[in-house]
């Protein structure tokens, strides 16, 4: 942990961006628990729950083909301020969703909110390799994951109680206020990064990106391997677990918050324990460990308290998989293409997460058990480990160190 503290002390821009991340992510989980609590209170079907979970990721998929080209041609601070403003308004207007007749409004606001959030994330992740290099970049990615996980832990745990005591509307208002604080901190930050002017329009930049991927196949393979982490899109699964197994044991909002928070504990602890041990060869074992953890979760799912324990184990390996595969991609692409490649990478990742959410709902509504669905997700990580092993043997992949 001392390594991350020293990095923040030595990099003032990263320190401010990390503070904004902490505030914004912490606030975001209030609305996340509130949205799913609202859906369950409205007694919507499993397919609606899964569709909302899918929308959280699908929004990023739709805008990704254009966002990368915009990122590579617009100053990052200006773009980040516009995006966080969109998140403020989309989050606040969630207070007007009161019944199933307002579901269309809910879908629209979630789409705008998550499209802006995804765009913001892609902009920031394409900014990091321009201000940090080598081991610092890897640690910054890990730090980003830790902050996300820490915010996720506290946000989910506290928001479960906030929603339980004060209701979903209060959670939406608190979330939007968190984004306002983040906007103020970002507005006062001086980010001096050169924008490489190519003279190309958006369509030409998109074509150039595809030509680059064609002559750099290892970049495409690394994008695909990162997409396997999208299998951890468990929001719909957790909501259905609460509705089926735990509603008679504990309040819905509390169950949602505690389950997500317990997994987030593992997300925080994992990189601190594992990151210095992982390298290109050993990441295959992390894929296998993730599969085993998911299968453990499936076996213990029916018992709420054992499921909390299993959730922690599931989270232990996810952050390392995410941060390491992301850093590998950043390490193996040219600076000119950072924004575009990162955007397409996020598109594949979010497509994987959206597909996972959709299939969870589809399989659940067609009679498959939640345990069976969870086992299938675990098999996906085994396939990911085999695929990454093949990539290392056939592609010229630079090590992070």
- Taking residue 6's Cβ as centre, other Cβ atoms within 10 Å add up to 11
Q: Report d(CA 129, CA 182) in Å as an integer.
A: 22
Q: Report d(CA 256, CA 306) in Å as an integer.
A: 15
**Which of residues 335 and 127 earns the better pLDDT score?**
127
Categorize the per-residue pLDDT at 196 as very low, low, confident or very high, splitting at 50, 70 and 90. Answer: low
Residues 6+ away with beta carbon under 8 Å from 245 = 301, 302, 304, 307
Chain segment 387-399, per-residue pLDDT in tens: 999 998 888 887 7
Chain segment 337-383, per-residue pLDDT in tens: 766 787 788 788 888 888 898 899 889 988 899 999 999 999 999 99
- Any idea what the Cα angle at residue 180 is, between residues 12 and 262, rounded to 5°? 80
Name the phi and psi angles at 140, rounded to 5.
-65, -40
Chain segment 211-249, per-residue pLDDT in tens: 887 888 888 899 999 999 989 888 788 888 988 898 888
Least confident of 37-41, 72-76, 114-118, 295-299: 72-76
Buried b (16+ CB within 10 A) or exposed e, 78-92: ebbeebbebbbebbb
CB 222 within 8 A of CB 328: yes
Chain segment 284-331, per-residue pLDDT in tens: 999 999 999 999 999 999 999 999 999 999 988 988 888 888 888 878
- The whole-model pTM stands at 0.72
Mean pLDDT for 251-255 is: 82
Q: Report d(CA 83, CA 127) in Å as an integer.
A: 15
pLDDT at position 139 is 77
Mean pLDDT for 100-111 is: 91
Q: Report d(CA 221, CA 39) in Å as an integer.
A: 37
Chain segment 44-65, per-residue pLDDT in tens: 887 888 888 788 777 777 776 6
Categorize the per-residue pLDDT at 7 as very low, low, confident or very high, splitting at 50, 70 and 90. Answer: confident
State whether residue 249 is helix, strand or coil.
coil
pLDDT at position 385 is 94
Highest-scoring range by mean pLDDT, 11-25, 44-58, 170-184:
170-184
How many Cα atoms occupy the beta-carbon half-sphere of 74 within 13 Å?
A: 21
Find the distance separating the first CA and the last CA of the chain, reported in whole Å: 18
Question: What is the DSSP code string of 373-400?
Answer: HHHHHHHHHHHHHHHHHHHHHHS-PPP-
Mean pLDDT for 171-179 is: 87
Q: Please, what's the largest Cα pairwise distance for the chain?
A: 61
pLDDT at position 313 is 93
278 alpha-carbon distance from chain centroid: 21
- pLDDT at 32 exceeding the cut of 80: no
Structure tokens at 113: 């909110």
Q: Report d(CA 368, CA 218) in Å as an integer.
A: 37
Q: Smallest Cα–Cα separation from 172: which of 162, 187, 157?
A: 162
pLDDT at position 294 is 95
- pLDDT at 69 exceeding the cut of 70: no
**Which of residues 94 and 253 earns the better pLDDT score?**
94
Looking at the chain, the whole-number percentage of residues with pLDDT higher than 90 is: 21
User: Which ranges of 167-275 would DSSP assign to H, the alpha helix?
Assistant: 168-187, 202-215, 217-227, 235-241, 252-274
Q: Report d(CA 29, CA 156) in Å as an integer.
A: 6
pLDDT at position 68 is 64
User: Which ranges of 42-75 would DSSP assign to H, the alpha helix?
Assistant: 46-71
Q: Report d(CA 13, CA 184) in Å as an integer.
A: 15
pLDDT at position 72 is 66
Question: Crossing angle for the helix pair 134-166 and 12-41, nearest 10 degrees?
Answer: 30
pLDDT at position 310 is 94
- pLDDT at 185 exceeding the cut of 70: yes
pLDDT at position 51 is 85
Q: Is 191 exposed, middle or buried (0-12, 13-18, 19+ CB in 10 A)?
A: middle
Q: Report d(CA 296, CA 271) in Å as an integer.
A: 20
**Which of residues 333 and 107 earns the better pLDDT score?**
107
Q: Report d(CA 76, CA 183) in Å as an integer.
A: 14
pLDDT at position 149 is 67
Token pair 């209170």: residue: 41
pLDDT at position 156 is 67
Q: Provide the Cα torsion 285, 361, 220, 380; round to 10°.
A: 20
């Amino acid at each position: 942990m001392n390594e991350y503290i020293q990095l923040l002390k030595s990099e003032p821009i990263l320190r401010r961006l990390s503070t904004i991340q902490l505030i914004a992510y912490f606030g975001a989980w209030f609305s996340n628990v509130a949205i799913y609590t609202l859906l369950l209170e409205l007694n919507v079907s499993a397919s609606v729950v899964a569709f909302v979970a899918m929308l959280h990721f699908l929004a990023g998929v739709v805008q990704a083909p254009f966002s990368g080209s915009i990122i590579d041609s617009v100053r990052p601070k200006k773009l980040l301020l516009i995006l966080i403003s969109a998140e403020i308004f989309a989050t606040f207007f969630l207070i007007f969703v009161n019944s199933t007749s307002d579901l269309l409004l809910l879908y629209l606001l979630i789409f705008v909110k998550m499209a802006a959030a995804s765009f913001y994330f892609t902009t920031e992740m394409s900014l990091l390799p321009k201000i940090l290099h080598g081991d610092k970049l890897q640690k910054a990615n890990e730090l980003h994951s830790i902050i996300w996980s820490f915010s996720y832990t506290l946000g989910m745990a506290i928001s479960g109680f906030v929603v339980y005591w004060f209701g979903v509307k209060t959670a939406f208002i608190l979330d939007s206020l968190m984004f306002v604080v983040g906007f103020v901190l970002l507005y006062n930050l001086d980010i001096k990064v050169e924008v490489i002017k190519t003279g190309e329009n958006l369509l030409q930049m998109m074509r150039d990106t595809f030509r680059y991927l064609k002559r750099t196949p290892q970049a495409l393979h690394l994008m695909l391997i990162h997409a396997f982490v999208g299998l951890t899109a468990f929001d719909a699964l957790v909501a259905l677990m609460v509705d089926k197994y735990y509603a008679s044991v504990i309040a819905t909002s509390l169950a949602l918050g505690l389950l997500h928070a317990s997994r987030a504990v593992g997300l925080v602890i994992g990189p601190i324990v594992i990151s210095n041990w992982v390298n290109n060869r050993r990441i295959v074992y992390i894929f296998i460990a993730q599969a085993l953890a998911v299968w453990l979760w499936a076996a213990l799912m029916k018992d709420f308290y054992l499921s909390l324990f299993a959730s922690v184990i599931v989270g232990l390996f996810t952050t390392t998989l995410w941060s390491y595969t992301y850093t590998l991609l950043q390490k193996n692409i040219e600076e000119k293409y950072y924004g575009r490649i990162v955007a397409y990478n996020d598109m594949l990742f979010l497509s994987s997460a959206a597909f996972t959410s959709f299939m969870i709902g589809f399989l659940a509504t067609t009679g498959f058990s939640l345990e069976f669905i969870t086992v299938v997700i675990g098999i996906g990580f085994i396939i990911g480990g085999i695929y990454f092993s093949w990539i290392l043997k056939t592609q010229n992949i630079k090590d992070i160190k």
